[in-house]
């Protein structure tokens, strides 16, 4: 019932739309103009029309019935085949009373009316089909022109791109390449066409390429890009950052497209920068170690001597006035306090436990020192099988934890902190967490310095020196957790 109701509503809307269309009224007027002389024979025709009927051998009723073809075909043009059918039905309804009541030869009249109905619809259907064919042909031509324009645009982008682009078939033969690709390999575009990609790859690089190919064929993702080493024509090697995609033809793999950028110089600059940072960090640690040793061997020892002398002076002399004795005791206490501060500074610069015992004892000392100095209870938890790491790595990890705890007592407003060291089979993870006020971390670690998080930025730089990754998780009011993960 619901479908019938919907169909009726649709039909009603179509009828209303037709009644509002002036073209439909023009067809109705034309039908009326043909019908009037068909029933009122006193209405004559111009002489040339009567002559035409005589030459064609048509009676007036037959000629008038043929005239009904005009509105039928016109309706087909204006409203497609449905319009022709409706007009032919109306025309047939207008002809039938004359056929039944006023025709001398009723059989011929019925035949003529039927022929008008059929021929009108056939002509309308034919013209409608021709119109659709013409529209389809125009659409195809427009699509072909758009395709040619799109291909031309793609060709221009392909040839003028700054990144190297080349296409290979399933066997690895290069079938297309742009000028930027020739700069990567040293081969001109004509030279590279037909070459196999194996000619550009070392055995190690070929293994990487096979892995990428297998993933693409299996529908797996390989990330945004990967690095590949390419052999140039002159024998040198270029480090290329690649993005690869599978090309399909009718749903079947047909080849691969690669977009590459030469990052050889960029990588060299990064290596130089990393080397510089390593040297600067090593020099900084050596200077810290030297200052720490001098403070311990010279300054602290001198303060120890001074403290003992003040103590001896205050306790051995009996003729010292009480106010002077009191002043000496104050100086002795101040000297001890300074000595403790210098000793803490010496330990902070280079903990002796780190050199003698390793990372974990140094972190245990650091947690205790932060607890006593800042008043923030700081725990150390260790999971997994403990093991020593290279001296340089332990030093970097210690400095990162030291900076993280310094941030806790300086900026977080926390009432508790924890250092967790996790030893797994192939990695080490250290997490420094607190229950402080937290903050809104930047979207990228690279934005730390820009947003004023210089301590975190320095920790991230130190982590990169030993190949570790640093992450910072925090929310306002929910504390902060800084984690360093190292494959070891």
Collapsed DSSP state (helix, strand, coil) of residue 334: helix
Distance between CA atoms of residues 85 and 118, nearest Å: 10
Structure confidence at residue 407 (pLDDT): 87
Structure confidence at residue 338 (pLDDT): 85
Residue in 318, 462, 317, 321 with CA at minimum distance from that of residue 403:
462
Structure confidence at residue 421 (pLDDT): 93
* Sign of the torsion formed by the C-alpha atoms of 99, 101, 103 and 107: positive
Q: Mind listing the pLDDT tens digit of every residue in the chain (488 residues)?
A: 556 556 666 656 765 666 677 777 777 777 777 777 767 665 666 666 667 666 666 667 777 677 777 787 777 777 776 777 777 777 777 777 776 666 666 676 677 777 777 777 777 777 777 777 788 888 888 877 777 777 676 676 667 778 888 888 999 898 888 888 888 888 888 888 888 988 888 888 888 888 888 888 888 877 678 888 888 888 888 888 888 888 888 888 888 888 888 888 887 876 776 677 667 767 776 777 777 777 777 787 888 888 888 777 777 766 778 787 788 788 888 888 888 777 777 766 767 677 778 889 889 988 888 888 888 899 999 998 888 888 888 888 888 998 888 888 888 888 999 999 999 988 999 999 999 888 887 766 555 555 556 678 788 888 887 888 888 888 888 889 999 998 86
Collapsed DSSP state (helix, strand, coil) of residue 306: helix
Residue in 396, 380, 410 with CA at minimum distance from that of residue 460:
396
Place of tokens 């000595």: 339
Instruction: Determine the length of the chain.
Output: 488
């Amino acid at each position: 019932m619901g479908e019938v109701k919907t169909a009726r509503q649709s039909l009603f809307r179509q009828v209303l739309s037709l009644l509002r269309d002036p073209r439909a009224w023009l067809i109705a007027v034309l039908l009326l103009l043909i019908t009037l002389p068909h029933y009122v024979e006193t209405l004559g025709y111009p002489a040339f029309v009567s002559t035409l009927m005589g030459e064609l051998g048509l009676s007036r009723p037959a000629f008038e019935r043929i005239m009904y073809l005009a509105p039928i075909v016109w309706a087909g043009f204006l409203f497609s085949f449905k319009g022709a059918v409706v007009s032919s039905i109306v025309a047939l309804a207008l002809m039938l009373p004359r056929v039944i009541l006023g025709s001398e030869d009723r059989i011929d009249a019925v035949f003529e009316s039927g022929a008008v109905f059929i021929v009108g619809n056939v002509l309308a259907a034919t013209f409608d089909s021709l119109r659709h064919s013409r529209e389809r042909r125009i659409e195809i031509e427009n699509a072909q022109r758009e395709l040619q324009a799109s291909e031309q645009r793609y060709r221009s982008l392909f040839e003028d791109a700054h990144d190297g682009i080349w296409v290979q078939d399933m066997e690895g033969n290069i079938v297309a390449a742009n000028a930027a690709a020739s700069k990567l390999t040293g081969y001109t575009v004509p030279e590279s066409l037909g070459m196999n990609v194996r000619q550009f790859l070392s055995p190690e690089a070929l293994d990487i390429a096979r892995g990428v190919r297998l993933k693409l064929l299996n529908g797996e993702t390989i990330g945004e890009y990967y690095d590949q080493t390419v052999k140039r024509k002159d024998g040198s090697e270029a480090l290329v950052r690649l993005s690869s995609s599978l090309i399909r033809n009718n749903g079947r793999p047909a080849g691969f497209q690669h977009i590459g950028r030469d990052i050889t110089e960029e990588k060299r600059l990064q290596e130089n920068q990393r080397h510089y940072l390593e040297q600067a960090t090593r020099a900084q640690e050596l200077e810290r170690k030297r200052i720490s040793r001098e403070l311990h061997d010279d300054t602290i020892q001198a303060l120890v001597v001074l403290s003992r002398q003040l103590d001896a002076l205050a306790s051995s002399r009996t003729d010292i006035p009480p106010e002077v004795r009191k002043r000496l005791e104050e100086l002795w206490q101040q000297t001890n306090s300074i000595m403790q501060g210098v000793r803490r500074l010496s330990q902070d610069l280079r903990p002796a436990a780190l050199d003698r015992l390793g990372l974990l004892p140094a972190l245990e000392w650091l947690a205790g020192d932060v607890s006593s100095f800042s008043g923030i209870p700081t725990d150390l938890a260790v999971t997994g099988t403990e093991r020593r790491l290279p001296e340089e790595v332990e030093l970097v990890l210690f400095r990162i934890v030291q900076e993280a705890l310094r941030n806790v007592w300086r900026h977080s407003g926390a009432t508790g902190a924890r250092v967790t060291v996790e030893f797994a089979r192939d990695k080490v993870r250290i997490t420094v967490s607190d229950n402080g006020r937290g903050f809104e971390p930047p979207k990228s670690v690279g934005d730390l310095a820009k947003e004023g998080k210089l301590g975190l930025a320095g920790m991230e730089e130190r982590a990169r020196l030993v190949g570790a990754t640093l992450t910072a998780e925090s929310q306002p009011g929910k504390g902060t957790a800084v984690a360093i993960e190292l494959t070891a």
